[in-house]
Amino acid sequence: MGKVAILGVFVADTAYRAARMPKMGETVMGKSFALGPGGKGSNQAVACARIGAETHFITLLGQDDFARMALAIWKDAGVVAHAPQRADSYTGAAFIFVDDTTGDNAIIVSPGAAASISVKDVEAQTDLIRSVQVFVTQLEQPMQAALRGLQIARDGGATTVLNPAPAADLPAGMLALCDYVTPNETEAEALTGIAVTSEQQADKAARALCDLGVGTPIITLGERGAWLHGHGLVPAVKAGPVVETTGAGDAFNGGFAAALAQGADPVQAVRIGCATAGLSVTRPGTAAAMPTRSEVQALL
């Protein structure tokens, strides 16, 4: 199966579809509303588990209905939760605007209890992190917690993956702890100062990330696919009409991590990540849109 630990955040997604985003002080009529599980780390864990890896998710929750939603989705997907519940806080939530015409989205995240994940909380999971083949984190939880997780994973011999989202300034030396870094075009520009609008610029940005200490950068390019440093473009895998792009990056990262843990080489793992993402965008929602291993295999 391969074993993966993911440090991150769960939030309840409140998704609104409308023709356009309202201006400040304005109200617009929506086309639909949906409530469901989300958060980058949680979405990645669900995707990873559905692709077949033994997946452990490290986070914090409140004691509320959204926490019950989180525990239910993880149980359904086969994710092993390491998620203490804090009575003095709340489970995270996100506002998601979805353009009804294009499927593009804009998001506001409030992590709740997970915003207080500390170095101590991560160190409490040292034995788990050192036991996995792949460790993944993002930047929705506190930076120092993500940094400590990468340090523990690197010391334990795990392959380390950083999805640097949302874009943020990173502590010195953090990128050098990463075997793989998986930014999208915007995040790659934030890290390198290089605007990624072509494959040539993706290659340039990837080389800059290598200079910053990254083992192998992978820049996700939306509908074009992903730029794998040392290989080039791994094309996107089309699975049907795009319904919603929310969670596509999480699907890629979860599928990629699962494939790595199961022994795939980097090109194979990126292709599985692209197929996982390609299927996810044909469905509404985030965690609910993550495909199974058999669906990905059938598509490929």
CA 136 – CA 9 distance, rounded (Å): 12
Q: What is the phi/psi pair of residue 96, to 5°?
A: -125, 120
Dihedral class, residue 232 (left if φ above 0, else alpha if ψ from -120 to 50, else beta):
left
The contacts of residue 102 (CB under 8 Å, 6+ apart) are none
Determine the distance from the C-alpha atom of residue 105 to the mean position of all C-alpha atoms in its chain, rounded to a whole number: 16
Tell how far CA 51 is from the center of its chain. 14
d(CA 54, CA 51): 9
65 is known as an active-site residue:
no
Cα-Cα-Cα-Cα dihedral of 265, 164, 51, 267, to 10°?
A: -20
Which of 76, 127, 250, 265 is the catalytic position?
Answer: 250
Pairing of strands 91-99, 11-18: parallel
Task: Tell me which residues are annotated as active site.
Answer: 250
